[in-house]
Chains A and B, each alone.
Chain A
Amino acid sequence: MNAPPPNSPSLAPVHAVLDQLDAFILGKKRETRLALACLLGRGHLLIEDVPGVGKTTLAHALAATLGLAFQRVQFTSDMLPADLIGVSIYDRDNHVFRFHAGPIFSQVVLADEINRATPKTQSALLEAMEERQVTLDGETRILPDPFFVIATQNPASQIGTFPLPESQLDRFLMRITLGYPDAAAERAMLLGEDRRDMLKDARAVITHAELAEFQSAVRRVHVAPALVDYVQALARATRDSTEFHNGLSPRAALGLLAAARAWALLAGREMVIPEDVQAVFGPVATHRLLARASNRPQPELVIRLLGEVAIP
């Protein structure tokens, strides 16, 4: 059952990627897998957690391991869209405007504390995420491929922040939390090498061509009608439920399927089974389902709903 699918490339590079990621982020196998699945499913990732649990390290490690160009942007309330996208500056020697690309022109962008920026800047980023291109001074510039945004936000301090509206949360394929490591992992980390030094030495274990091949292999993972029934049943349950403000959008259902495909691929399967959907349902659905009672995402409600929908 775990044999590599005939129409997919050998999974060895992917496992190498996961192994290297797990060497950086200790004790978070599921989270690193989800992050990789999100990238393979061509989605963007939102990490919500308190500072210091390795959000930046994860983003950095992903970029290094995959051999991708990486930029980190610290979002602040006085940040302008131009700080992100770039700006045209008059070149006196050549008498032309020269475009100076901003940090967004990178393959992996870490948008740190995205909820500290004003909605104007947030929208500039989110538009780029959706369109995978930026239009400035009437000129459209294509962003690099792959283009992967990892945004972080800190749920604990809400003072002076601009929480992302639901429509923009919908653009993130997954939202994950890293959480504190368990005791053994933390001990290993405390005794181990400095992560920053390790990252300096990190090298890519996968080529661009292989990465692109895996991304397209994800789309070839088979989805049976019975599985579509399950995805629809889940979406319908969120829409019929009175616990949430809104049910899952069709875009969310599409995202659920894409994430489940990537998850199946990582498991070395050529078809999606309900287990894959269940594995990614929480990260895909939680941030899109605001609970009526608290007006915030409530992971436990989403898990309960998952347990109430029969697999057709």
Chain B
Amino acid sequence: MKIERLDHYQVFALLVVLMGLLGAHVSRLPNWLLGVLALLFVWRAWLQHKQWRMPPKWLLLPVVFGVVTGIYLEYHTLIGRTAGVTLLAALVGAKLLETRTRRDALLLVYLGYFLVVTNFLFDQSVAMGLYLSAMVLAISTLLVSWNSLGGWTGRRQRAVDQLVFAGSLMLQAIPLMVLLFVFFPRIEGPLWRLPQDRSGVGSGLSDTMSPGSFSNMSKDDTVAFRVSFSDTRPSQDMLYWRGPVFDQYDGHTWTQASPGLLTENPVEAVAGKSIPYVMTLEPHQRAWLLALEMPTALPEGARMSEQYQVVSRRNIDKRLRLNMQAAVQYRVGAKEADAQLNRSLQLPKVVNPLARAAAEKWRNLLPAERVIEALRFFGTQGLTYTLEPPLYGKNAVDDFVFVGKQGFCEHFAGAFVFMLRAAGVPARVVGGYQGGEENGDYLIIRQADAHAWTEVWLEGKGWQRVDPTFAVAPSRIQEGLASAVGAEDLPYLMRLDNNVIKRMRLLLDSAVNGWNQWVIGYTPERQRELLRKLGINDLLSSGFLAWFIGSVFSLVALSAAWLLWRARPRRPDPAKQAWDRFCRKLAGLGLQVGLAEAPSDFALRAKRALPERASAIDDVLGDYLAVRYGSQPALANLARKVREF
């Protein structure tokens, strides 16, 4: 085979495209390798520029060996997601230095497609999808350009034409892609069971609550989860998204007891029916879910704790799409176990004497009245709701309620539960999110919507939600955070003013949400659901497989048939056929017609070679020209004369 050397343009185009591909991996590659790769690229470019020879094998081999050793030392393995991709990137860089011919370059291009795929092992966002589509277009254009290098008979193509051609190839692939996406059996869990590296600890609610843990989140406008209600949406002040329940207090930090799991759902809906909704939860690296109070139906695999928190078996390390139901008017825990109630009365002995003394005065009231009294106390104490509360000392509740009087939801909830416990009412703090921002047909709940409220237990009524923040700053609950505090301190997207940038960001969020819902969230369950609607019960049943493979084959066969029909050789004109036979007959006599030889020129040659047949040749020629180019066909005549020749 002829070895085709690459020219400058091809080499530099390849270098640029490969840099774009490796660029997507930059944040995942170790710094030293980035340095080595940069060196390899510059080296290759320099060799090309100077037209120097490629480095010999004995120089290249130690480089490769060193890089592989380095990767092994870095990850202690060469397989797995990160180490594998790193190795691939390193080898692509090394391969550059023995890329001389078209064949080598083609190998790199195919590796490039593989590099594209590896990105999806790490990042499945819309932005990455768009970037990688662009990269696929770039590699394909490269491939098109290398395959359209022809002689002068080859089509003259400019770079733009090649780009358009590659783009049209990609567009043609879309139907097949959609078909495979929808119908290819989806596999539970990560496709290759690659060893997972733990992605960075997510922001969001933590397992403990101490002063500042919620107010710090008020600066964070990243999305915690998105919710869409299929029919009715509860009013804003009913949107309490329940997270961890804190029932142990050491005087500074509220923590979660490790609760047992319930075998059945104890929540009773009081008025109305359960409200179904779909939650798309962003990964937060903890083993619990968030749920609208109170959950009546849980997603598959989730359980409810004794404190009515929805927990999952594993840490949430990827985005989940959850079908849930909730009753906003509910009754739960009327027959609570003593151990649970006792735990909800525990208090550290020595801290907060003032608050404790104030609360103990309420002990002569009925439990329900004590709660009302406590709310009244909070309402009349002159407390203010602020994002930047001062730091309180050892007696944090006393300092907050009687001295500083400035607090965020964790101060209100913590102090409220402390005082109720001191007054003898079982109470606990509930963490989670409150409210949410409407965007089209779904709600966005951001980290800044994090909130803490309380739950009190009353004889005969069970656990009831009481939000002391509501007593002080009702607008926080009714209208959201932005109306309760000054807007300047809030993240940009949480502010109330409805300007263009904010609307654009919300529009972008709907696009991301759609992507999450329909592409990332296309789980095996959703596939089953969709296929059931199409009347397919089992993707792997032989009946469906036969139907599917059969239809794919007939589709391919049909399109192939159509293409063949379109490219069918035109049936030559009868006169032309006769003339061709005449030419073949003469070829038998040693006279070959030239490619562009005109009939009369050929006839002239034939007459010179076969003078005795001159008149017969003239006859055929005259009739052929008359039939094929004249306006009065005389085909029968011609055919006869050819036969008789």
Contact = CB atoms under 8 A, between A and B. Distances in A.
Report whether chain A binds chain B: yes
Interface of A: 1, 222, 224, 226-227, 240-243, 270-275, 278, 306-312
Of all A-B residue pairs in the complex, the 9 with the closest CB atoms, nearest first, are: A222-B631, A275-B598, A224-B629, A242-B152, A271-B630, A274-B598, A271-B629, A273-B629, A307-B596
Given A222-B631, A270-B630, A270-B631, A275 B596 contact: no
7 contacts: A222-B629, A243-B152, A271-B631, A273-B598, A310-B596, A311-B599, A312-B576
A300 to B, nearest CB: 15
Contact of B596 (A1, A242, A271, A308): A308
A311 B598 contact: yes
A150 B507 CA distance: 69
B625 to A, nearest CB: 5
A153 B94 CA distance: 61
A224 B596 contact: no
B598 A307 contact: no
A23 B502 CA distance: 90
Q: Which of B152, B154, B595, B601 has the most CB of A within 10 A?
A: B152
B595 A226 contact: no
B263 interface: no
Contacts of B154: 242
Contacts of A278: 596, 598
A222 B630 contact: yes
Contact of A224 (B594, B598, B630): B630
B102 interface: no
Contacts of A243: 152
Q: Which of A240, A274, A309 has the most CB of B within 10 A?
A: A274
Contacts of A274: 598-599, 629
B595 A308 contact: yes
A275 B599 contact: yes
Interface residues of B, number: 22
Contacts of A306: 596
Interface string B150-171: 0011111000000000000000
A270 B622 CA distance: 13
B573 interface: yes
Given A271-B626, A273-B598, A309-B596, 5 more contacts: A222-B630, A226-B628, A306-B596, A308-B595, A308-B596
B69 interface: no
Interface string B120-161: 000000000000000000000000000000001111100000
B533 to A, nearest CB: 52
Q: Which of B594, B599, B601, B630 has the most CB of A within 10 A?
A: B630
A226 B629 contact: yes
B554 interface: no
A311 to B, nearest CB: 6
Contacts of B594: 307
Contacts, number: 60
B575 to A, nearest CB: 8
Contacts of B153: 240
Given A1-B622, A226-B628, A271-B630, A240 B155 contact: yes
Given A274-B599, A275-B600, A241 B630 contact: no
Interface of B: 152-156, 573, 576, 594-601, 622, 625-626, 628-631
A242 B629 CA distance: 31
Contact of B629 (A241, A272, A309): A272
Contacts of B630: 222, 224, 270-271
B576 A226 contact: yes
A242 to B, nearest CB: 4
B285 to A, nearest CB: 60
Contacts of B596: 278, 306-311
A226 B576 CA distance: 9
A227 B626 CA distance: 12
Contacts of A273: 598-600, 625, 629
B573 A226 contact: yes
A264 to B, nearest CB: 9
Q: Which of A227, A272, A273 has the most CB of B within 10 A?
A: A273
Contacts of B598: 273-275, 278, 311
B68 to A, nearest CB: 46
A263 to B, nearest CB: 13
B595 A242 contact: no
A264 B522 CA distance: 71
Contacts of A227: 629
Given A222-B631, A242-B156, A271 B625 contact: yes
Contacts of B152: 240-243
Nearest to B630: A271
Contacts of B631: 222, 224, 270-271
Nearest to A275: B598
Contacts of A241: 152
Contacts of A272: 629
Contact of A307 (B595, B599, B625, B626): B595
B151 to A, nearest CB: 8
A270 to B, nearest CB: 7
Contacts of B155: 240
A271 B371 CA distance: 110
A226 B596 CA distance: 14
A270 B626 CA distance: 9
Contacts of A224: 628-631
A196 B492 CA distance: 95
Nearest to A1: B622
B605 to A, nearest CB: 13
Contact of A275 (B156, B595, B601, B626): B601
Contacts of B595: 307-310
A291 to B, nearest CB: 12
A25 B596 CA distance: 32
A226 B579 CA distance: 13
Nearest to B152: A242
Contacts of B573: 226
Nearest to B621: A1
A79 B485 CA distance: 85
A255 to B, nearest CB: 19
Contacts of A310: 595-596
A240 B599 contact: no
A242 B157 CA distance: 10
A311 B579 CA distance: 12
A200 B601 CA distance: 41
Nearest to B573: A226
A306 B156 CA distance: 19
Contacts of B625: 1, 271, 273
A307 B622 CA distance: 23
A220 to B, nearest CB: 10
Contacts of A240: 152-153, 155-156
